[in-house]
Structure formats: structure tokens, C-alpha cells
Amino acid sequence: MDIPFVELKGINKKFGTVVANQNVNMTINKGEIHAILGENGSGKSTLMNMLSGIYMPDSGQILLEGRELKITSPDDAINAGIGMIHQHFKLVDVFSAKENITLGKKDGLFIKGKELSRQIREVGDKYSLRIDPDKKVYNMSVSEKQTVEIIKVLFGGARLLILDEPTAVLTPQEIDNLFSILRKMRDDGCAIIIITHKMDEVMAISDRITILRKGESIATVNTADTDVKSLTEMMVGRPISLEIKRVTTDPEKVKPILNVRDLVVEGVGNQRLLDNVSFELSSGEILGVAGIAGSGQKELCEVLAGICRPKTGSAIFKGDEIIGLSPREIIRKGIKTSFIPEDRLGMGLVGNMNIVDNVLLKEYHNSNKMFMSRKGSKQISEQIIEKYDIKTPSVYHQVKKLSGGNIQKVLLGREINLAPQLLVTAYPVRGLDIGASYQIYNLLNSQKQDGVGIIFIGEDLDVLMALCDRIMVLSHGEVMDIVPADKVTKEQLGMLMLGHKNFDTEGHND
């Protein structure tokens, strides 16, 4: 224990002129779970990618059990016993679990299928990680994919396991399970680094915490000696309120505006992506949508935006049917959609275009002149930048060169600026740090108070429970239940997300 397992000394890394890490120092011991906390862009992932050989530090030292280690490729890292589970899984979709697990291993020319399956089960049994070795990755749920990644790393004999935001896409039950596996590994003497945004998880799982701010390591503290409030302050650099308010809307503004009945969307092979989805929404209300990734959230957005035509079903918006209308007609009615996909750009913004042109995309058809005028869009862009505190060198800056949070604010700002009556927003805080997230929550709350009906598709159950009025839970495209957000527990939501409709009623009493 005297010599730390891994020690980072004065690590620096720049991408072009952007400083990602500056003079980072930290130590990781055997048999500990070490959390790394930091806002977005504070350099957590970059730092870990240097340990796993994806990036190389510009300067600084990495010591493994006291000896200097040069990591120039992932191969070096694997040989040193460092395994990383990336935020976006690095698995080959068309391969089976065992093919992915054995990938890159040096063990004879031919693959011994049966022997491999046996070994995988052996490792799995030790940590109660269950996976069918022959299941293809494209048939797997997110948590199964994660299991494959963990077994793969263990299979490579890793003694240091790095997990980059492993809980972002898991249900509460899956998170509990993951944590118990991590604890077991720690007790076996593994060193574990976990990167996460979620404070309660950090407090629950970690032994020590290192805080990064703007690429620098601010402090390392023992979890037992600290609390959420002081951690947040170290992370953000100033005190910040951690309460999400559920605001009330003036009852006069609350009127039913959207009535969705029996929506069915079918995908390849008649698989139902949305299965008889029905719900109602009032103005001045936030309806949360919870569900495991790929439960029909995207399809719901697409139907309401007019991109995807359902097989059957109707959606009445203020007395008018909107199914069958073109996206532009729906926009004209006052329904705005902002969908933040995993890569943050995909739907909504064109990365290579600047802010003005992205605003123009939704404006130009309101003018009937032959040539476009950028004047109006420029003004709007300037308003959005000022109102939402978007950090950009100018309105003519390419959108994809902004940071994730700022991109999201441009998208949401543009939609809100169009004075919607119904706002559909999916994952608006995806990957945002605490400060930026709270700005977005406040934005949604003020829209709600103005009488906008909001559909909020989210990932973080704590946020959904705190911000929304009601929560609709989707599982395999089906509405499991619509529950009042202030009366439901996280566990109940988790059960619904997993498709268990009739959870234990004892938990239902309030």
C-alpha cells in the first residue's frame, strides 16, 4: 500500500490551442474505488484516455507501482493491466459476446470457441456477471453490452479498471448491480476509477475522490470526510444551489392542448417501436418521459415533429389532427422539437454552418423574397447568445466548434425563441455539467410558467422526478404507466422501465 498502484505526475495535454489537462497529479491505490469528478470539459475523459493509450500526454509522468510507464498505444495499456470501459462502448456490433471479449488477445492462431465460452462463464461466475457468450452485440441491451465490456477487461487481466460514466444509461436496479460488482472487484484487490456526474453515486460507491476543474486537479479527498455541497463547490469553483424547483403554473393557463391516442409505429420486420401510445398534455405542464434507451423515445419525437408517420393513431393538438401534416406545417402550429442525440448535433443543427445560418434554417421560409436575408437571423442569434449566455467568439462561429453545452443552448434557444406552444425536448442536458444543466432546467420552468406544454424526455430519474409534473414510462414502445412525479419512487420507475407493469403495491402508498 505504500507505493500507489498508479501515480500521475504533472500531466499536460493540449488539443491544438485548447488545454485539456494541466498539471494533473493523482494517485490510485490497489483495492480502492476512486471517483473523478469534474464539469464537462474539465478533462476527465482526456485524462483517462491517456491512461488507456488513446491519447498521449504532452508532458508529465505515469508511474506504475513506482516505475515509469510509457503508454503509447492501447496495447501498452492492456499489457500494463489497465483496462478502460469507454462511455460509448467500443464493441463490434456484428460480433458475439465472446468474439468481442477475445478480440486482440494473443492466444494461438485459431479461436477455440468452446474453451472460450467456458472461461467467460468462469470469470462471469466469480463476479456474478451473466452473459450468453454467443449472443450478438446488436441484440443486446445497454447493460448487457456493459457486462461484455467488463468481462473483456477482466479477461485481459486488468488490475486497474476505468469506467467512463458507466451509469448514464442504466436503470436504478442495474446501477445497484454494477456497484456490487465493482465492490467485489475492489475487495479482490483491483483498483477502480469511475467517472460520473452524479453526486449521490460518487458518495455511494467511492473511497476517494479527485476533483478536476478546467483541466487541473483541484484536490483529492476521502469520501467519508466530505459532502455533496463541498464537492460541488470545488468542482464548479463557486457555491451553487442543487435544488431543482417544480414551479406551479397559474391555473388559468392550464388547458388541455395535446391528446395522443393509440400511436403505433412499426420498424423493420413489423417490430413495434411505439405500441398503442396514448397520453394527454396540458399547457403549463411538464410531462416527463422515462425509459431505457431505445424504448420509443426517438420515434415519439419524430411522430410529433412530423418526420415519421405512424401506422395508426392520432394526435390532436388544440382540436386539429397533426398526424399527416408535414414538419413545416407542424412547426407553424407552434410545436417545436429539440432532440439531443448522443452526438449532440444529429437532429436539429447543421454542424458545419454557423449560428446565424442555423437560425435561418427555421426562418427563411417566412420571407417570400427571392434572396435570403440574414439580417433578422443575425439579430435573433445575438438575442439567443445574450439571453442564454452562450460562449462563442461570434455569431458566425461554426456550431460544431462550440462546446457541447453551448451547442445544446443554441438548439434549445432557437426553438424557444420561436415562441412554441408545445415544446418537445429530448435529453436537453445530455452530457452537460451541473451549472449548464440548471440553466436548462430554469429555462424549461420559465417556459412552463408561460403556459407552454412541455414533453421532457430524460435519462436522469432524479431530475425527472424533481422537475416534471407527471412521468410517462415507456418500455419497448409501450406506455407502462403515467405516474405523478412527486409520488413515485426511483425503484418503481426502474421496475416500470424494465417492463414490470404491476410492481409491488406496497411501494405505492403515499
Residues 12-31 binding another protein (CB under 8 A) are 15
Asked if 54 touches another protein (CB under 8 A), the answer is yes
Of the pair 74, 376, the CB lying nearest another protein is at: 74
Examine residue 105 and tell whether it contacts another protein (CB under 8 A).
yes
Rounded least distance, CB 56 to another protein, Å:
9
* Minimum CB distance to another protein, residue 256 (Å): 41
Stretch that binds another protein, among 91-99, 121-129, 355-363, 437-445 (CB under 8 A): 91-99
CB of 78 to another protein, least distance (A): 5
User: Least CB distance from residue 17 to another protein, whole Å?
Assistant: 14
Shortest Å distance, C-beta 192 to another protein:
18
In the complex with another protein, which residue's Cβ is closer, 404 or 477?
404
Near another protein by CB under 8 A, which window of 93-101, 292-300, 366-374, 501-509? 93-101
495 Cβ contact list (under 8 Å, min separation 6): 173, 503
- To the nearest whole angstrom, how small is the minimum distance from the Cβ of residue 92 to another protein? 4
Tell me the C-alpha to C-alpha distance, in Å, between residue 331 and each of 26, 430, 456: 51, 24, 18
Q: How far is the CB of 398 from another protein (least distance, A)?
A: 15
CB 7 within 8 A of CB 63: yes
Residue found under cell 446501477: 175
Residue 294 engages another protein in binding (rule: CB under 8 A): no
Out of 69, 103, 247, 254, the only residue in the binding site for another protein (CB under 8 A) is 103
Q: Which three cell numbers stand for residue 244?
A: 431543482
Count of CB atoms situated within 10 Å of the CB of 45 = 22
SS3 (DSSP) at 323: coil
Please identify which residue in the block is written with the cell numbers 472461461: 119
Q: Which of 9, 14, 90, 213 binds another protein (CB under 8 A)?
A: 90
HSE at residue 75, side-chain half, CA atoms within 13 A, is 4
Residues in the chain: 510
Q: Which stretch binds another protein (CB under 8 A): 84-92, 119-127, 277-285, 478-486?
A: 84-92
Residue 122 identity (one-letter amino acid)? E
Q: Does 94 bind another protein (CB under 8 A)?
A: yes
Nearer to another protein, 84 or 380 (CB): 84
Query: Among residues 51 and 423, whose Cβ is nearest to another protein?
Result: 51
Interface pick for another protein out of 21, 40, 42, 102 (rule CB under 8 A): 102
CA distances from 461 to 297, 356, 379, 492 (A): 15, 35, 37, 11
Residue 499's region, left for phi above 0, alpha for psi from -120 to 50, else beta, is left
The smaller minimum CB distance to another protein, of residues 16 and 319, is found at 16
For 102-116, give one letter per residue: b (16+ CB within 10 A) or e: beeeeeeeeeeeeeb
When computed from its CA atoms, the radius of gyration of the chain, rounded to whole angstroms, is 24
Closest CA to 396 of 355, 366, 359, 442: 355
Our finding on whether 78 is near another protein (CB under 8 A) is: yes
| Closest by CA position to 174, among listed 423, 495, 430, 438 | 495
Q: Which of residues 250-289 bind another protein (CB under 8 A)?
A: 268-269
Which element (helix H / strand E) includes 11? strand 6-15
Using CB under 8 A, pick the residue from 39, 43, 55, 235 that binds another protein.
55
Binding mask 110-139 for another protein (x = CB under 8 A): xx------------------------x-x-
Minimum gap (Å) between residue 95 Cβ and another protein: 7
Residue found by looking up cell 403549463 in the block? 284
Distance CA 459, CA 456 (A): 10
Q: Please tell me whether residue 339 binds another protein under the rule CB under 8 A.
A: no
Phi, psi of 49 (to 5 degrees): -65, -25
If one asks whether residue 99 binds another protein (CB under 8 A), the answer comes out as yes
- State CA 236 to chain mean position distance: 20
Stretch that binds another protein, among 50-58, 221-229, 406-414, 437-445 (CB under 8 A): 50-58
Bridge partners, 290 (sequence order): 473
Rank residues 62 and 84 by Cβ distance to another protein and give the closer one: 84
Binding-residue total with another protein (CB under 8 A):
35
Q: How far is the CB of 360 from another protein (least distance, A)?
A: 27
Site for another protein contains 240 (CB under 8 A): no
Grid coordinates given for 420: 412554441
Q: Which stretch binds another protein (CB under 8 A): 79-87, 185-193, 213-221, 493-501?
A: 79-87
Grid cell digits, residue 414: 432557437
Candidates 3, 59, 68, 75; binder of another protein (CB under 8 A) is 75
Q: What is the rounded CA–CA span in Å between residue 243 and residue 263?
A: 35
Looking at beta carbons only, is 54 or 219 nearer to another protein? 54
Q: 432557437: which residue's cell?
A: 414
Tell me if 86 contacts another protein by CB under 8 A. Answer: yes
Tell me which residue has cell 427563411.
364
Q: Which is nearer to another protein, 77 or 315 (CB)?
A: 77
Question: Quick check: 104 binds another protein (CB under 8 A)?
Answer: yes
157 near another protein (CB under 8 A): no
> Can you name the residues that pair with 481 across neighbouring β-strands?
473
The answer to whether 330 and 424 have CB atoms below 8 angstroms apart is no
Binding site for another protein (CB under 8 A): 15, 52, 54-55, 73-75, 77-79, 84, 86, 90-95, 99-100, 102-111, 136, 138, 152, 268-269
